[in-house]
Amino acid sequence: MDDPPHPLTDERLDRFARHIVLPEIGGAGQVRLARSRIAIIGLGGIGAPVVQYLAGAGVGRFALVDDGAVEVSNLQRQTIYAARDVGHGKAVSARRWLANFDNALAVDISDTRIGPGNAASLVEGADLVIDGTDNFATRLAVSDACVAARVPLLSAAVGRFQGQVGAFAGHNADQPCYRCFVGDAFDADDCDTCAEDGVLGAMVGWVGTLAAMQAVRIIVAPQMGDPQWGMLHLVDGLKPGMRTLRIAPDPRCSACA
């Protein structure tokens, strides 16, 4: 990893002191976080808390990707935006939030729609990609690009009161990719949306913060234990509860087999 965009001065060490005293993170883990570059695809209800908690955790570099603009209906769950952001691009608004929170961070943005034609360039150079987008076609394009670029992927999704977070390292021969999980049937750009089905704002926050937690686990591994490749965590907001499934590699997968 490269040096962090900011030195870990006494002031910054004080900022992350509550992390550093944790044996599972410590000084070495904090340095890894500071040197990491994380690409966040989709800056909606999942991406918003991911941005907040990873910036708070001390991740040094971000690549933010979203082609949408902030709408009034987003404010119910997309916690980095305020009324003044309505009508402005999400990527620009998210960068503004990061600058206000910690102006020492390095942030690149893209407000173009990600797809098979540009996914490779948008995940290039990342240590981890987190996908919080809302359609299968985009998710599969991102997953395929991650496999080709040998970049691990965290995929997070939510609908109504159900959510899931899975960690994929399909570039490794013994691990599945996201396409192993969902198959090839969803390459068309269609799926249900929260506008049609509804979604509880706090439910989206739960999924986003779980994704942020898993991202920290992956970056500082093995200090926080196994990165849990191929594990899909399913959360239910009505019970509430969580269960975990293991995804098997698909020997016929068109992306990673």
Cα 28 from chain centroid (whole Å): 22
Cis preceding linkage at 222, omega within 30: yes
Distance CA 181, CA 198 (A): 25
Per-residue pLDDT of the chain (257 residues; tens, 9 = 90+): 577 777 788 888 999 999 999 999 999 999 999 999 999 999 999 999 999 999 999 999 999 999 999 999 999 999 999 999 999 999 999 999 999 999 999 999 999 999 999 999 999 999 999 999 988 999 999 999 999 999 999 999 998 899 999 999 999 999 999 999 998 766 555 555 555 678 899 999 999 999 999 999 999 999 999 999 999 999 999 999 999 999 999 999 999 98
Residue 10 structure tokens: 């006494």
- Write down the pTM of the prediction: 0.94
